[in-house]
Amino acid sequence: MIGGGQGAFIGAVHRIAARIDGEYELVCGAFSSNAEKSKASGVLLGLPADRVYTSYTELIEKEKQLPEDQRVQVISIVTPNHVHFDPSKAALENGFHVILDKPMTFSLAEAKELEKVVAASGKLFCLTHTYTGYPMVKEAKQLIKAGKLGAIRKVYVEYPQGWLSSFLEGDDNNKQASWRTDPGKSGIAGAMGDIGTHAFNLAEYVTGLEVTQICADINVVVPGRKLDDDGAALLKFNNGASGVLTATQIAAGEENNVKIRVYGEKGGLEWHQSDANSLTLMYTDKPTEIWRAGGGYTSTFAQHNTRTPAGHPEGYLEAFANLYRNFALTVKAGLEGREATAEEQDYPGIQEGVRGMAFIENVIASGKSDKKWTEFTI
């Protein structure tokens, strides 16, 4: 692991996700740009001193010198956005598979460069868009793919948070708020980069469609904040469907209430994270249905990503773990000389990363433009 040392939120989540299915062993790390903090974090995680490194460059250099049966196979990178590209590039070019936290890079230019690096390296790459890991999100995708709703006409996706309703970055002790609202570390977007990319990815993943045009309203609500903390966008998709995306971090009282609704010519569906095991299907000619994770009627994709019998709730950590597990199974398939199944390969990758960075740059540009619609360009 690169990043994720003491005091980091997402690093601990990644480690839990990696452990859930027993597919990974944490063997080394460079957990902080501060050498002492990195060493101290390694001690707390029970790693031998000679496998805890003071920098990601040292980690990659020393690990690649180890015999193949001893060196790390997969490097998980959980640093702030501005420290995504360089370690990912170095890891891939030196023969390691990579799991990277989203958004993929600091800029679209970096994303397109990393796409070339992945292709040249022959290594596998996973981007942790968590919400695609939920079994009933995968079920929604499969139902739409099978034509259950008919041609898709309308998409609503939203991600409301309230944790940045006040100027938290003014507190020197709030590291999360500090870097996420800093243009030098986060990039050109705040809320739209942090959670808007999740909403965008969810919309494209579930529908199987791609956004082609955008009309955005981007706001900085809290005085003194340097990046957007609120926004909405009208969307046009490549099949002619339209959509609405909202992402805000100033919805006081909200937690992480991710939701998506998709409507076709035959009916609609709805999923929200607060009841993640349920998927609601609505029809024009029969009563509404509630499909549940763990039901024998769900697709192989939903079943593959469900661990417990129906009625036992699985949530955010398990969804995160599904990405790690599927990636591990795909890596192992390669080692075994076989083609990974479609279910095993169902995790976000480099293409989703490039489109996510394109979303950030397009939505911010649209918010600044006086045009009603702007083309979604990559």
Model pLDDT, residue 16: 97
pLDDT band at 172 (very low <50, low <70, confident <90, very high): confident
Contact 259, 247 (CB under 8 A): no
Tokens 């702030």 appear where?
80
Inside any domain, residue 345 = no
Query: Which token pair is 371?
Result: 């045009």
Mean pLDDT of 164-177: 92
Note whether 88 and 211 are same-domain residues. Answer: no
Statement to judge: residues 163 and 95 lie in one domain? no
State whether the Cα torsion 5-7-9-12 is positive or negative: positive
Q: Indicate the pTM of the whole model.
A: 0.96
CATH code for position 123? 3.40.50.720
Per-residue pLDDT tens for 188-239?
999 999 999 999 999 999 999 999 999 999 999 999 999 999 999 999 999 9
Tell me the per-residue pLDDT of 92-103, one tens digit each, with 9 for 90 and over: 999 999 999 999
Could you tell me the residue range of the domain that residue 97 belongs to?
Answer: 9-128
In this structure, are 242 and 116 located in the same domain?
no
Q: Is a pLDDT exceeding 90 seen at residue 7?
A: no
pLDDT of residue 175: 87
Domains in the chain: how many in total?
A: 2
- In CATH, what number is assigned to the domain containing residue 230? 3.30.360.10
Report the run of H or E that residue 99 belongs to, with start and end.
strand 97-100
One domain for residues 89 and 148: no
Same-domain check for residues 233 and 184: yes
Cα–Cα distances (Å) from 103 to 52, 106, 203, in that order, read: 26, 8, 16
